[in-house]
Amino acid sequence: MAEFSCYICNKKVITGEKFTFTKSGAVHYDCFIHVRRKEVPEEKQAVLRQLAILLDVQLTYLLQVLQLKQSGIELEAIFAAYKNIEKECGETTRQISSL
């Protein structure tokens, strides 16, 4: 896996950690949501919570598939779905960024 640093905490993203990409670059899931909770107006906090849960599920899914792949397990159908979930992660991240 390529090495990225989180633009919020400046630490390297370690394999197995949840992270996503925004316009500003790579960011840990936890750092991203923590900052957005402070920035997003009160009336949009409920939507932020829901999107944060969705992104968490999507990123957890991707990490699990990656781990299975490293185990050498042949699950072509699941690996084929990976790219779609990756795209969905990007979309969820965009929505969280624009709240």
d(CA 46, CA 23): 23
Cβ nearer to Zn ion, comparing 18 with 58: 18
d(CA 63, CA 15): 9
Q: Could you list the residues that contact Zn ion (CB under 5 A)?
A: 6, 8-9, 28, 31
Cβ nearer to Zn ion, comparing 8 with 54: 8
Residue 7 beta carbon to Zn ion: minimum distance, rounded to whole angstroms: 8
Residue 80 beta carbon to Zn ion: minimum distance, rounded to whole angstroms: 30
- CA-based end-to-end distance of the chain: 30
Cβ-contact 48, 96 below 8 angstroms: yes
Residue 11 beta carbon to Zn ion: minimum distance, rounded to whole angstroms: 6
**Pairing state between β 25-28 and 19-22:** antiparallel
Cβ nearer to Zn ion, comparing 26 with 65: 26
